[in-house]
Structure 1
Amino acid sequence: MADRYSFSLTTFSPTGKLVQIEYALNAVNQGVTALGIKATNGIVLATEKKSSSPLIDPPSLSKVSLITPNIGMVYSGMGPDYRVLVDKARKVSHTNYKRIYNEYPPTRILVQDVARVMQEATQSGGVRPYGVSLLVAGWDEGIEPDVEADNVSGGAGAEEPKPSGKTGGILKGGPMLYQVDPSGSYYPWKATAIGKSATSAKTFLEKRYTEGLELEDAVHIALLTLKETIEGEMNGETVEIGIIGPPAHHLMGVEGVEGAQGPRFRKLSPQEIEDYLTNFGVLEAAIREGSAAASTALAGRKR
């Protein structure tokens, strides 16, 4: 009886579960750990680059992908399934949405489209669920709510301006972090982890995460979390990090274009990761001992 429901791709078991989704989650839980941390001024995506052979060229291994200039993605699970979803996400962003609106989609809209593709695979005949979970990070520019004219009177006793109702103050900008599961479910997170050591990584993040976290602090907390889960040496070749941060104008490829800004998402080079790891011992002790010491250490690194 159980085998019948295990074999069927779209039939619910008597307990109300789609067994193939459970199997897809097992594939995710066997993958390497990946995590995301949202800061006040950006987001960090970090994962382990695990090679099955020392003969593989390390630069060819990549788990963090650029979708749009302001959106990036990392996964845990089956690599081939991930490549298909990356292609679909890029197609939605660069052709479908941009062709209509002349801009890239907000993070939430892109996540909804990817989640819809993953959900359709759970109820369509002849296909199986995607064996990956995704962490999608992006920066939305947002739309400032219009202000009623009679509210802008100025003066010391003037009331705070109120939204006009045209936007309702709903479309806010800033960093956004989402997790998408094989079932097509998606959730916004402040910090989360997926993969083999997701449970222990989440426990670690719950202890270390604080409101008002800066991007530099988030990078070091990500490295601390990976250190708890990685077996072996951490270096620029075994760790991959992508960040959402200030516009990187040097990556535009052109200069002198009025109003243009560089991408907010970029991957750290192996040398940049090595630089973080060089000061890792001091910063690890500082973060563990207290935020004041950590701030002092980070301030020294920024200089």
Structure 2
Amino acid sequence: MYRMIGTRDPPAQSPPSVREEKDFDQVPTAQSTMADSAYSFSLTTFNPSGKLLQIEYALNAVNSGGKTSLGIRCKNGVVIATEKKLPTILVDEDSHKKIAVLSEPAGIVYSGLGPDYRVLVRKARKKAQTYFQKYKEHAPASILVREIAAVMQEFTQSGGVRPFGVSLLYAGYDDDGPQLYQIDPSGAYFGWKATAIGKDSVSAKTFLERRYNDDLEIEDAIHTALLTLREGFEGEMDETNIEVGIIREDKKFHVLTPAEVKDYLEQAE
């Protein structure tokens, strides 16, 4: 075989070292941070992994900063309960409420940012009143929950706003029986037998999975709710730092008084 004059064989290339292969496969941390920051302030743009980062941040506000709240649906009603820790003893506890009545057969509790929650409560009450004035009956749970979720979802796709930094638990009673729903900052909502939201939601759900059964009645559900909160509670739990709301077959949502909460706490010990 003849070789052309003036040509040379290319120099032999040695295989890349282990260090070189490792460096080639690694994505620099600075680049990933810059890539995330390019999407972190945009509400209407998905990042390369298919996420809206502002919604992720809203969920972080619920899961890291929100006090634990939970709900239990039972045979004859629904129970919702939450931690209510005041920043200082100087705060008037009557001015700090976490459970709200939306209409006669519906109540709601939150984990996350209190100011965002108050805006949603006001909007939800208005929608409940509008429905009642138009149809002369209270809105079914599925309709009112859908309307609340639509408001939250709208704030995930509009410019100049941000998602609501709260997750909600809705407790209601309609012609289909007791209803418990969870609504997240994205506007997603689901019906539940029992669930929890907030910073200790994972351990609370694990506890509820062990204790829940379809034959629970309202009194047992209240005790189960208090025991679940106690699992992750820091400090001493009493009637001043716990709120409980219930709805029975009479379809009237009721927030327990501190005296009633104290009685149930004593029974749960």
Give TM class, smaller chain: 0.7 to 0.9
Return the offset for 1:268.
Answer: 0.4
Partners in 2 of 1:133 and 1:200 — Cα distance? 17
Return the offset for 1:10.
Answer: 1.3
Which of 95, 114, 120 is the matching residue for 1:79? 114
Which of 58, 67, 74 is the matching residue for 1:39? 74
Look up the match of 1:253: none
Return the offset for 1:53.
Answer: 1.1
Return the offset for 1:34.
Answer: 0.1
Return the offset for 1:246.
Answer: 3.7
User: What is the letter of the counterpart of residue 123 of structure 1?
Assistant: Q
Please give the secondary structure, in 2, of the residue aligned with 1:210: coil
Which of 224, 227, 230 is the matching residue for 1:224? 227
Q: Which runs of 4+ in 1 moved over 6 A?
A: none
Structure 2 gap ranges (5+): 1-34
Please give the secondary structure, in 1, of the residue aligned with 2:88: coil
Return the offset for 1:136.
Answer: 0.3
Equivalent pairs: percent with the same residue?
A: 59
User: What is the letter of the counterpart of residue 11 of structure 1?
Assistant: T
Deviation track 1:186-228 (CA, whole Å, cap 9, x = no partner) reads 0000000000000000000000001111100000000000000
Look up the match of 2:263: 275
Deviation track 1:157-187 (CA, whole Å, cap 9, x = no partner) reads xxxxxxxxxxxxxxxx210000000000000
TM-score computed with the length of structure 1 as normaliser: 0.76
Contact 2:173 2:249 in 1 (8 A): no
Partners in 2 of 1:57 and 1:278 — Cα distance? 25
Deviation track 1:55-87 (CA, whole Å, cap 9, x = no partner) reads 111122110000010000000000000000000
How many pairs does the alignment contain? 234
How do 1:249-288 and structure 2 match up within 5 A?
A: 264-281=252-269
Partners in 2 of 1:113 and 1:22 — Cα distance? 22
Partners in 2 of 1:8 and 1:246 — Cα distance? 46
Return the offset for 1:274.
Answer: 0.6
Structure 1 gap ranges (5+): 143-172, 248-262, 282-303
Partners in 2 of 1:233 and 1:2 — Cα distance? 41
Look up the match of 1:113: 147
Structure showing greater radius of gyration is 2
Look up the match of 2:94: 59
TM-score computed with the length of structure 2 as normaliser: 0.85
Please give the secondary structure, in 2, of the residue aligned with 1:176: strand
How do 1:1-303 and structure 2 match up within 5 A?
A: 1-29=35-63, 30-95=65-130, 97-140=131-174, 142=175, 173-247=176-250, 264-281=252-269
